[in-house]
Structure 1
Amino acid sequence: MAKALVVSAPASGAGKTTLTLALARACRDRGLAVQCFKSGPDYIDPAFHSAATGRPSVNLDSWAMPRAMITALTARADDADLVLAEGSMGLFDGVATEGASGTGASADIAEMMGWPVLLVLDPKGQAQTAAAVATGLRDFRPGLRVAGVVLNRVASPRHEDLVRRAMAGVNIPVLGALPRHAAIALPERHLGLVQAEEQARLSDLIAEAARLIASHVDLDALLKLAECDRAAPHVTSVMRVSPPGQRIALARDAAFSFVYPHMLEAWRAVGSEIMPFSPLADEGPSETADVCWLPGGYPELHAGKIAAGRHFRTALRAFAETRPVHGECGGYMVLGSGLVDANGERHDMTGLLGLETSFAKRRMHLGYRQAELKAPIPGHRMGARLRGHEFHYASILAQPDVPLAIVRDANGADVAETGSRRGHVSGTFFHLIAEAA
């Protein structure tokens, strides 16, 4: 029988990522093959999952992805002993208007795949009320099965006992209770966790978290409750992701790292070659590439170094004279004329587009995006309808070039971040997830 759990919570900040990583490593230490997934448009957490399991993790997104694409992505779990799908925000949190196969809520994935839910509850300031919250989550949506809960950051044995008794009264298993333990806290920055590749002690943190889980969570009971009747069938259907070219020069370093793993996999699956280069190391795209792709990341943290990268800027400009260059979010900003950092200092960017952005007055831009292209971009024709997600804190000071697309939010309202184009160069503030049907 298949074993799977969607690790979710009533809200963000409950400890889903830490618990997912700890469970994954603890079960791997038992000799189990663990396959992780991330529900929702998060490009940071899958790298942490891979560090914990030794297997690539990908996003599953019910708003942006059709069901066939989600099924194809979950087929990688066929040879796994346990699936752990980390949720985003609260269990039922998504957008108001349904997208490709749902609203983007973690509950969509749980119901679609028949995977039971493991709730992470932080009962700070609560006792019996925690059971009321868990009961509400269990009963809110027919078709979901809440397997049990893990209590996180429990204050004392007495606190734990009160919550356990209340949970027993509503027939919700408590599979473990974790004390406050600052040693396994993961460092954060303004777009989420500090990236996995930037953390020298990540392996030690995961190992410590796994030891904590092994001593405070009943793993045998958890694995028993993870049993489910339906596993993802083996599917080899198309991913609805077109590669931007045959030989793709991909900017890849600490400033350019926000790439959805399923995108790279889909490009490689159809025979495209990905040729990474590092702008922070003052490298330019390979002369043998036929397209250049600059993903998002943290250009605002490295703006001075990017501006000083004379070879990178010269090589990219020369490349753009004859071949397409596309940037997403941070990559789009680098294609612009200038970027003002959080201290108010302006840095020259590549000048391939006229875009001017600023982080001096931070303003969050967050949400799903649907776009209809007014001109082609690498891999997608004019008129193509794309689904993606936008998340950044930059303000637009100027966006003088021709708009690239008609861009709307998940509810169909127009947004100002239309992207832009000039010659062979294009860029968007949203990160592409899939082409709409």
Structure 2
Amino acid sequence: MTSEPRQVPRIVVAAPASGQGKTTITTGLIAALTARGLAVSPHKVGPDYIDPGYHGVAAGRPGRNLDPFLVGEPLIVPLFLHGVLTPRQADIAVIEGVMGLFDGMAARPGFASTAHVAKLLQAPVVLVVDGASQGASVAALVAGFREFDEHTRVGGVILNRVGSDRHEAILTAALRGFGMPVLGVVRRHADIATPSRHLGLIPVAERADPALETVRNLAGLITESVDLDAVLALAGTAPPLAGLPWQPEAAIGTPAPGRPRIAVAGGEAFTFSYAETAELLSACGAEVVPLDPLYDPALPDGTAGLVIGGGFPEVHAERLSGNTALRTDVRRFARAGGAIAAECAGLLYLADSLDERPMCGLLPTAARMHRRLTLGYRRVVAAADSCLAEAGTVVHGHEFHRTLCAPSAGNRPAWEHAEHGAEGFVDGAIHASYLHTHWAGNPDGVRRFVEACA
């Protein structure tokens, strides 16, 4: 694999704040460029699982996350290049930002922000601005973002939720008055809004046909409203990017023996997974097979390990509980020593109950919905030896949920956090906690898990 600098046309789609329409515009751009016959590599700054699902529908290839906290700064360019080249080389990469352009970690201002990733990728920024309640003041807003950081290049603006021709004329005149290119003007279209609930947009897996229709409508809207040639021209100004693409085989090294069969939960209830998870498991020698806990009556034949990631089990609790056959099989598997790695939704599924509905009964804790949102990055230390980590191992992850478990930790907790204390459960070959991790940032943990399965 060559380390010569690669010319990868790319743009970062950012906004002054959350709620300006980044996901709508980004998904529409990806869909419109794909409809032109271009291969588009979609990416998302930060840990969010839901937006990349819509990106993937629009591009026809997995949406991938770029998060400096979860995987470390040195992996951002390699993971980006891996996405650009997989499954085939893309013509352009479109990267959706997170929150406002310069919003990052509270403890490390700017770190893991959209601007941080844009600088690591040397990518120009397209600023999406909600014009709904402003006129000429938009120029002052955009000028501030352009001048705030000399190393972050705002190359153009897409105006969103513009109300009329006159409104458009006021906004565009103000921006062009100080030399800021207006790449597009998108009018208000409430009929193509994507439905949301307590943790954001409803995942693609739960509304497959409506999501496809939404993406098609967005492609048409962006084609009509945005100068795609100007977007492509701006993306082409990104300089060649040096570095080797990330490769799961290189990250893992020698595969584990035995080719263990590892079931990975999916379907409507377990939609949170990074594309690199299955790639790393396969590179480590595992045979990865899907499992849908809503419908499958048993684990796949020969299952040696089980991965249950995040999602919305609270929305599907009655159906999950009603699949008694699978819950019984998972309990049998675990009690026979089968290795299970469970994150967030997986923790709830393995608990005694979720909102008073019986779950797998493998962990001595009861889960319930709560009005408070738990959200944030975590730097944790493994509190006990487990199938995922040796005691004392430092891991970076994030939490994102509106449920609580009582108790929150077992006799052998999964993790210790300096501020939040002990969390999660280690019981035999089970490792379960609220913490979401990106396994590309901890390939040793992947190897440990596959070897436990083997």
For 1:5 and 1:400, locate their aligned partners in 2 and report how far apart those are by CA, in whole Å: 43
For 1:145 and 1:164, locate their aligned partners in 2 and report how far apart those are by CA, in whole Å: 19
Give yes or no for the alignment of 1:378 onto 2:394.
no
For 1:191 and 1:285, locate their aligned partners in 2 and report how far apart those are by CA, in whole Å: 29
Structure 1 residue 379 displacement after superposition: 3.8
The one of 240, 247, 270 equivalent to 1:256 is 270
**RMSD of aligned residue pairs (Cα, Å):** 2.3
Can you list the C-alpha shifts for 1:50-98, whole angstroms capped at 9, x where unaligned? 1111122210001111233222211132522111001111111111334
Cα distance change on mapping 1:392 and 1:67 into 2, 3 Å: same
Structure 1 residue 240 displacement after superposition: 5.7
The one of 282, 291, 299 equivalent to 1:268 is 282
For 1:98 and 1:265, locate their aligned partners in 2 and report how far apart those are by CA, in whole Å: 31
Tell me the equivalent position of 1:65: 71
Tell me the equivalent position of 1:421: 426
For 1:125 and 1:30, locate their aligned partners in 2 and report how far apart those are by CA, in whole Å: 33
**What is the letter of the counterpart of residue 81 of structure 1?**
D
Size of the alignment, in residue pairs?
425
Give yes or no for the alignment of 1:435 onto 2:442.
yes
Shifted more, 47-56 versus 66-75: the winner is: 66-75
The one of 59, 62, 81 equivalent to 1:56 is 62
Structure 1 residue 14 displacement after superposition: 1.0
Tell me the equivalent position of 1:338: 353
Tell me the equivalent position of 2:169: 161
Structure 1 residue 254 displacement after superposition: 1.0
- Equivalent runs, 1:4-43 vs 2, <5 Å: 4-43=10-49
Tell me the equivalent position of 1:327: 342
Tell me the equivalent position of 2:310: 296
Cα distance change on mapping 1:27 and 1:114 into 2, 3 Å: same
For 2:299 and 2:420, locate their aligned partners in 1 and report how far apart those are by CA, in whole Å: 32
Give yes or no for the alignment of 1:105 onto 2:113.
yes
Shifted more, 121-130 versus 224-233: the winner is: 224-233
SS of match in other structure, 1:63: helix
Contact between 1:417 and 1:429, CA under 8 Å: does it hold in 2? no
Q: For structure 2, list consecutive stretches of 5 or more residues without a partner in the other structure.
A: 1-6, 445-454
Structure 1 residue 201 displacement after superposition: 2.2
Give yes or no for the alignment of 1:84 onto 2:94.
yes
Contact between 2:412 and 2:427, CA under 8 Å: does it hold in 1? no
- Equivalent runs, 1:27-426 vs 2, <5 Å: 27-76=33-82, 77-78=84-85, 79-98=89-108, 103-199=111-207, 200-227=209-236, 228-231=238-241, 233-236=243-246, 246-321=260-335, 322-340=337-355, 346-359=356-369, 361-399=370-408, 401-408=410-417, 413-416=418-421, 418-426=423-431
Structure 1 residue 383 displacement after superposition: 2.2
Structure 1 residue 259 displacement after superposition: 1.1
For 2:99 and 2:15, locate their aligned partners in 1 and report how far apart those are by CA, in whole Å: 7
Can you list the C-alpha shifts for 1:381-423, whole angstroms capped at 9, x where unaligned? 2222211111000123323622424443xxxx42156112223
Shifted more, 89-98 versus 53-62: the winner is: 89-98
Can you list the C-alpha shifts for 1:342-397, whole angstroms capped at 9, x where unaligned? xxxx11111111111211x4211001112211223334322222111110001233
Contact between 2:252 and 2:443, CA under 8 Å: does it hold in 1? no
Shifted more, 325-334 versus 267-276: the winner is: 267-276
Structure 1 residue 282 displacement after superposition: 4.4
